Amino acid sequence: MAALTRINGPRDLDRLGPQQLVELAAEIRAFLVDAVSKTGGHLGPNLGVVELTIALHRVFHSPADRILWDTGHQSYVHKLLTGRQDFAKLKSTGGLSGYPSRAESEHDVIENSHASTVLGWADGLAKANQLRGRGDHVVAVIGDGALTGGMAWEALNNIAAAKDRPLVIVVNDNEWSYSPTIGGLANHLATLRTTDGYEQFLARTREVLERTPLIGRPLYETLHGAKKGLKDFITPQGMFEDLGLKYVGPIDGHDIEAVESALQRAKRFNGPVIVHCITEKGRGYSPAEQDEIDRFHGIAPIHPDTGLPLSAGGPDWTSVFGDEMLQLGREREDIVAITAAMLHPVGLTKFAKAFPERVYDVGIAEQHAAVSAAGLATGGLHPVVAVYATFLNRAFDQVLMDVALHKCGVTFVLDRAGVTGSDGASHNGMWDMSILQVVPGIRIAAPRDADQVRAQLREAVAVDDAPTVVRYSKGAVGPAVPAVGRIGGMDVLRAPEGAPERPDVLLVSVGALAPMCLEIAALLDAQGITSTVVDPRWVTPVDPELPPLAARHRVVVTVEDNGRVGGVGATVAQALRDAEVDVPLRDFGIPQQFLAHGSRKDVMAAIGLTAPDIARQVTGVVAVLGGRFADEAEGVSQE
């Protein structure tokens, strides 16, 4: 790593010659494979942008020039070149974030790792530069997958309107987002990749004509003046220039000299320019190059030589859903699946293989996914829209006005709900229940184990006149948590021993936190505090049997892996007020703040969402209530 260790900042690249840059690129790839194989992280995307990132930092002078990354998971090389080479605790507490982070470096601008936003950022920064008279450059790096998102095209429409406002857009075209990029834009870019550009044609023509006496030069100028027609004839890159955007490319994204030359031309152009670079996701690491699923987009720790996982995990929530979807597909021809460029990550691979005509990958376009699902439902089908919980935030209006208002039977399956941890603030699925519970008619299920995922998914797809939601956690699914009884539609997970007339605590357990709630109950029992633990299964609407059950307890405690504001606790409290049940309620959940990256366990401990923390606080509440009830009883007897 001789060259890499001498890079403390981008300007250290300036003194390297062509061969040294090639050696540096090789060192960076070796470093990434070694480091990320130990910690896990986004390996494939970063292996694909090594030369591109080197060229960007040689041509542009960050941080004065703003280099913006969409979605940021391909920023590891950028981190290395800006002085951050300690990857030992990548994505762990106290270590580097897996995305750009303003707290880490002045070279990082955008922390939001939701795709298709970078062009909006770039448009705003370019406008700010223009209004404030600054000559700094704005460079937006966006993948071909992120270009399938509608926000990217909304931004392009605005960017193209100002032909004298400098802005460089680098399209990192590797044919992949999480999964292979699909859609009309992908087909267009594929055509560009396989067609010689008009620049090469004109270069060859000029070489011939300039050797022709008298008429050669005038004829070349005539041809060059007609370049728009030539472009449309030779390559369909005119789509971008029809928008008013100068187009440069396609460029071999692994040829540093070629990328630098293209970026220098774009830098000199006084207007918006697209630089189209062709790269290979996972380049230089054969296990990634041979991975047909996602080219090692995101990995757990692996053996660096083989690319095989270091440990075989048990079944996870995603695979349980995927297997049940496959079974439902066999049983019901009306079941169709929709995903937003994440077929494999959300568990739909088996369904897609069995029923390819019944799965729709809409690209990174969650809003379109929801509206299209409304159309499918209106057409007599039952769509299942599978996305990460944090990404459904982007489609709230469509869930509300297109699905719910029209009473469409659409099931939204939310993976990675609650604290996800290592991917940081933008990936925690902590807003979905707060956002969705305001939707009229919606029904939200939070399964506690694999059996409940299967059962509640079936209950959800049986609803044909309202949106339904099934949300579950990230990672391995634990053992089954059996019910010991049923009250209304709620499962009783633990009943107080000895059948006390009025138990102290009603613990309302939400989803995957059921084992924690049982642990809390055991800790309370050790303090002589009696408790009932129930799993409402469907948290919205509130089960009508919950208020009368709450009235038979001294205090109600809700525990959820969602934000406390507008969460299940708030909804239960409202239901108790509506039923005129005057029982104190304590709600435990995620504080309404952006959480630092770290393991799920570390994050949960940091926010106090652990069994000992909650049991300690509940013990204090019961102690106060016990004193109050004792005083009231004494007052009654004295009268």
Q: What residue segments make up the domains of the chain, in order of their start? A: 61-73+90-280, 317-471, 490-632
The Cβ of residue 151 has, within 10 Å, a number of other Cβ atoms equal to 20
Q: How far apart are CA 336 and CA 351, in angstroms?
A: 9
The Cβ of residue 111 has, within 10 Å, a number of other Cβ atoms equal to 17
Closest CA to 506 of 603, 612, 349, 622: 622
Q: How far apart are CA 86 and CA 97, in angstroms?
A: 11
Closest CA to 76 of 103, 112, 101: 101
Q: How far apart are CA 34 and CA 334, in angstroms?
A: 47
The Cβ of residue 44 has, within 10 Å, a number of other Cβ atoms equal to 28
The percent of the chain in helix, strand and coil, each rounded to the nearest 5, is 45, 15, 40
Two domains, one topology: 61-73+90-280 and 490-632:
yes
Distance of CA 243 to the CA centre of its chain: 29
- CA torsion, points 32, 33, 37, 40, in degrees to nearest 10? 40
Please spell the DSSP secondary structure of 509-547, one letter per residue.
E-GGGHHHHHHHHHHHHHTT--EEEEE-SEEESPPTTHH
Secondary structure of residue 584 in the 3-state scheme: coil
CB 266 within 8 A of CB 275: yes
Q: Does the annotation place 172 within a ligand binding site?
A: no
Residues designated catalytic: 281, 366, 394
Q: How far apart are CA 263 and CA 170, in angstroms?
A: 9
Q: What is the pLDDT of residues 92-137, one digit of tens each?
A: 888 998 889 999 999 999 987 788 889 999 999 999 999 999 989 9
Beta-carbon contacts of residue 494 (< 8 Å; ≥ 6 apart): 484, 507, 518, 521, 531, 532, 533
Q: Does the annotation place 344 within a ligand binding site?
A: no
Token readout for 456 is 């509640």
Q: How far apart are CA 607 and CA 533, in angstroms?
A: 22
CB 441 within 8 A of CB 404: yes
Beta-carbon contacts of residue 215 (< 8 Å; ≥ 6 apart): none
C-alpha dist (Å) from residue 345 to 16, 32, 177, 182, 370: 40, 22, 11, 16, 19
Q: Does the annotation place 421 within a ligand binding site?
A: no
CB 233 within 8 A of CB 180: no
Token readout for 387 is 């996305």
Give the bridge partners for 171, in sequence order.
142, 276
Q: What is the pLDDT of residue 215?
A: 53
Closest CA to 272 of 250, 246, 249, 248: 246
Q: What is the DSSP letter of 401?
A: I
Q: How far apart are CA 413 and CA 472, in angstroms?
A: 8
Closest CA to 235 of 183, 271, 176, 189: 189
Beginning with the edge strand found earlier in the chain, give each strand of the sheet holding 468-471 in spatial order.
359-361, 335-339, 382-388, 411-415, 468-471, 443-445, 538-540
- CA torsion, points 507, 513, 514, 515, in degrees to nearest 10? -120
Phi and psi at residue 473, in whole multiples of 5°? -85, 180
Closest CA to 571 of 508, 491, 485, 493: 508
Helix (H) or strand (E) holding 273: strand 272-278
Q: Does the annotation place 174 within a ligand binding site?
A: yes
The Cβ of residue 610 has, within 10 Å, a number of other Cβ atoms equal to 17
Q: How far apart are CA 80 and CA 390, in angstroms?
A: 28
> Which residue shows structure tokens 């659409």?
410
Helices (H), 363-463: 366-378, 389-392, 396-398, 432-436, 450-461
Q: What is the pTM of this model?
A: 0.82
| Helices and strands (H and E) in the chain: how many | 25, 18
The Cβ of residue 509 has, within 10 Å, a number of other Cβ atoms equal to 29
Q: What is the pLDDT of residue 420?
A: 87
Beta-carbon contacts of residue 116 (< 8 Å; ≥ 6 apart): 70, 142, 146, 147, 148, 149, 150, 151, 152, 364
Q: How far apart are CA 382 and CA 378, in angstroms?
A: 9
Distance of CA 557 to the CA centre of its chain: 31
Closest CA to 314 of 412, 449, 413: 449
Closest CA to 559 of 507, 616, 482: 507
Distance of CA 489 to the CA centre of its chain: 33
490-632 architecture in CATH? Answer: 3-Layer(aba) Sandwich (3.40)
Q: What is the pLDDT of residue 380?
A: 96
Q: Does the annotation place 425 within a ligand binding site?
A: no
Q: Does the annotation place 157 within a ligand binding site?
A: no
Q: What is the DSSP letter of 403?
A: I
Q: What does the radius of gyration of the chain's CA atoms come to, in whole angstroms?
A: 28
Based on the number of CB atoms within 10 Å of its own CB, is 86 exposed (0-12), middle (13-18) or buried (19 or more)?
A: exposed
Beta-carbon contacts of residue 261 (< 8 Å; ≥ 6 apart): none
Q: Does the annotation place 627 within a ligand binding site?
A: no
Q: Does the annotation place 285 within a ligand binding site?
A: yes
Residues in the chain: 639
Token readout for 224 is 């060059």
Q: What is the pLDDT of residue 146?
A: 83
> Which residue shows structure tokens 């919980």?
389
Q: How far apart are CA 466 and CA 506, in angstroms?
A: 30
CATH superfamily ID and name for 61-73+90-280: Thiamin diphosphate (ThDP)-binding fold, Pyr/PP domains (3.40.50.970)
Q: What is the pLDDT of residues 355-414, one digit of tens each?
A: 999 999 988 889 999 999 999 999 999 999 999 999 999 999 999 999 999 999 999 999
Q: Does the annotation place 73 within a ligand binding site?
A: yes
- Tell whether domain 317-471 is in CATH 3.55.50.30: no
Q: Does the annotation place 144 within a ligand binding site?
A: yes
In the predicted model, residues of the chain with pLDDT beneath 70 are 1, 176-239, 627-639
Q: What is the pLDDT of residue 342?
A: 87
